[in-house]
Amino acid sequence: MKNHKGSDQVTTNKEQILAKLRNAIIEKPEAMFEDIDLRTDTWKPINEEDGNAITFVQNFKEMGGIFIYLESEAEFGECVKQLAPQNGWEPLWCTGHQMQALLEKYGLDYCTEPNRENKQKIVGITTCKYLVAQTGSIILTDGDTDSRKAYTEPDVLLVLARTDQIVESLKEVFQQQKEAFNAHESSQLVILTGPSRTYDIEQEVIQGVFGPRQLAVFLIDE
């Protein structure tokens, strides 16, 4: 291929791309949005009358989550004993050591490996790190689940939380985790906002493709 000056020098596509990249680095364009504000919070403030707890419940249920309020840890044990057989939540699959100890404390059976024999529904149960009021989200860490499979494979995911784990925003979550990282207590964060949802080629909503079809929170008010 000849260049515009009529030279017989051949320029490969790779050389052309590299030349454009060099020029882009040298000739930086002017910033188009110099006055953009990257610090001001764009979320709607929490209603003081509702507070973080009620706001979380409202947003979580709006996203399709199932919410169960409890007054004590012992009530959680009794509640799971009743709801598990009623809703087909057996056997419970648990990978986190903290939750395993709690299930054993209240005599609740669980398995440590998922079982899909005969197309059996997988029901996972875990603790969590935070509940986010602004988004109705659940924050999990590897300390809660001990395995990524714990939140990707279950058809139903049950999450145990306490009211003191509710925070206003993701910004607060990241700030607390930044402090934990500085204290050498780093951990992977996973954000779950409602049951898994995606769209097929005909733009119809399909649940459970990349995560649980049902997401339930047991909230202990202690």
In this predicted structure, what is the pLDDT of residue 200? 64
End-to-end CA distance of the chain: 76
In this predicted structure, what is the pLDDT of residue 207?
Answer: 63
Estimate to the nearest angstrom the gap between the alpha carbon of 128 and the chain centroid: 10
> Is the bond preceding residue 154 a cis peptide, omega within 30 degrees?
no
Q: Count the helix, strand and coil residues of the chain and give each as a percent rounded to the nearest 5.
A: 35, 20, 45
Is residue 15 assigned to a domain?
Answer: no
Report, as ranges of residue numbers, the positions in the chain whose pLDDT lies below 50.
1-2, 5-8
pLDDT for 150-193, tens place per residue? 888 999 999 999 999 999 999 999 988 888 777 666 578 899 99
**Contacts of residue 166, Cβ cutoff 8 Å, sequence gap at least 6:** 52, 53, 56, 130, 131, 132, 133
Domain that holds residue 102: 51-220
d(CA 67, CA 219): 8
Question: How many structural domains compose the chain?
Answer: 1
CA–CA separation, 203 and 76 (whole Å): 39
Is residue 158 a part of any domain in this protein? yes
- pLDDT at 177 (0 to 100): 87
Q: What is the CATH number of the domain that holds 114?
A: 3.40.50.10420
Residue 144 CB-half CA count within 13 A: 21
Q: Is residue 30 part of a domain?
A: no
25 assigned to some structural domain: no
| pLDDT value for 181 | 73
Collapsed DSSP state (helix, strand, coil) of residue 148: coil
Q: What is the DSSP letter of 127?
A: E
Instruction: Give the pair of three-digit tokens for residue 29.
Output: 């364009």
Structure tokens at 76: 């959680």
132-135-194 Cα angle (round to 5): 100
41 lies in a domain? Answer: no
Q: Is residue 171 part of a domain?
A: yes
Q: Is residue 190 part of a domain?
A: yes
pLDDT the model gives residue 6: 47
